[in-house]
Structure 1
Amino acid sequence: MERLNGLARRLPTWVVYGLGLLPLLLLLWGAVAGGLGVEPVKAIEHRLGELGLQFLLASLAITPLRRAGLNLIRFRRALGLLAFFYISLHLVAWVWLDMGLRWTEMAADLVKRPYVILGMAGFAALIPLALTSSNAAIRRLGPQAWGRLHRLAYGAILAGLLHLALLSKVWTGEILLYWALGTLLLGLRLVPRRRSRRSAAA
């Protein structure tokens, strides 16, 4: 574990951003090469949303991993911003590529399709997190207020999981895996941190 922590300390944050953008490049290449099937717009939209969910889950995994001894806390901001980036692109793909900027139809979908409402709610929850992802925001809000604000990520992940499940209509193995990971990561937040050895021995 110490070797992994040492490697994490030496790894520049920009590498995480660079690796995080690789799936987007692969998706664009697939679109240009015609390798996204008979419904490329749906494939792009789905993949972008899936990537956003994956990065959001990865960002939530940082704290449990830290408790287990693997300290990747310096990459949590990058993972969270990548999650917001892909979910934003997912929304843009729906608004522009899928719905063709037909605002009346989009408004109707917001009323009659619960998964659209959940997706919008999850995205809205991530906006203040992205806007306060800097060190300056932490200093301005204070660590405690900043921490409370960023608990919105828990609501965002629940909204994203429900959005995916209702959109798919069928509980595939992939969806079950996402739900298992999301439930585990949220459940671990309820487990109190272990006391230090000194306080335990007192």
Structure 2
Amino acid sequence: MNNRFRLSPRGRAATIWLLYLAGFAPGLWGFHLGASGQIIGDPVRVFEHLLGLWALRFLCLTLAITPLRRYLGVHLIAYRRALGLLAFWYALAHFAVYLLLDRGLNLSIIADDLLRRPYLMLGMAALVLLTPLALTSNFWSIRRLGRGWIRLHMLAYPALVAAVLHYVLSLKSVTAEPVAYMVIAALLLGTRLTRLLKAGRTG
């Protein structure tokens, strides 16, 4: 890439903050629509679904950074941390809305949901897997953990599997949108698996 197209460190930091602002905009707008009574139907469920969908989108974007660089030469590695943290915060907000607004923190109802709706367990598993990744998304953790940091952040892949299954199984019918996310997840995981298999044959 020509150097004149490269951002300075200050310019890159500015674009990362812009990414955070743009990333949180859908959630804030959804909250505004719900709070102002502009959502048709059940505003809590619609808002909850919106947050979960954006968590899945940002997780897919996070895991697409490496294949984009490797196969297309698109270098967006500087934005991977921001995308991953956006995925985590949306997933956490999605879970919080379910607990507090949807179920009113009624533990008996929540326990019954978990028994009758296995996809909720998958969603919780995805959030649990994303939590240590969010907590270690800083330079101190990278230095402290060394190569273990890379192994730890491979948890993003099972988190993606759990998130996609959570989304697909939560729907009453399979439409083009969940199929698209299944295909995207398969491609992201497939590129990683292919590289591991090649490394195993040449190792």
- The two structures have a TM-score, normalised by structure 2, of 0.89
Aligned partner (choices 80, 86, 102) of residue 98 of structure 1:
102
Partner of 2:153: 150
Q: Is the 8 A contact 2:27 2:50 kept in 1?
A: no
Q: Which consecutive aligned stretches of 4+ in structure 1 deviate over 4 angstroms post-superposition?
A: 1-5
User: Can you list the C-alpha shifts for 1:91-145, whole angstroms capped at 9, x where unaligned?
Assistant: 0010011101101111122222110110111111011101111110011110x21
Q: Does 1:188 align with 2:191?
A: yes
Secondary structure of 1:105's counterpart equals helix
Q: Does 1:129 align with 2:137?
A: no
For residues 5-154 of structure 1, what are the structure 2 equivalents within 5 Å? Answer: 6=6, 10-11=11-12, 12=14, 13-67=16-70, 68-142=72-146, 144-154=147-157
User: What are the ranges of 5 or more consecutive residues in structure 2 without an aligned counterpart?
Assistant: 197-203
Give aligned-pair identity as a percent: 45
Higher helix share: 2
In 2, Cα distance between equivalents of 1:117 and 1:6: 43
Q: What one-letter code is carried by the residue in structure 1 that aligns with 2:77? A: I
Q: CA deviation at 1:79?
A: 0.3
In 2, Cα distance between equivalents of 1:151 and 1:169: 31
In 2, Cα distance between equivalents of 1:125 and 1:89: 15
Q: What one-letter code is carried by the residue in structure 2 that aligns with 1:188? A: T
Cα 1:166–1:44 change in 2 (3 A) is same
Q: Is the 8 A contact 1:52 1:83 kept in 2?
A: yes
Q: Is the 8 A contact 1:123 1:156 kept in 2?
A: yes
In 2, Cα distance between equivalents of 1:4 and 1:40: 47
Cα 1:170–1:136 change in 2 (3 A) is same
User: What are the ranges of 5 or more consecutive residues in structure 1 without an aligned counterpart?
Assistant: 194-202
In 2, Cα distance between equivalents of 1:140 and 1:5: 33
Partner of 1:172: 175
Q: What one-letter code is carried by the residue in structure 1 that aligns with 2:83? A: L
Aligned partner (choices 123, 139, 163) of residue 166 of structure 2:
163
Q: What one-letter code is carried by the residue in structure 1 that aligns with 2:144? A: R
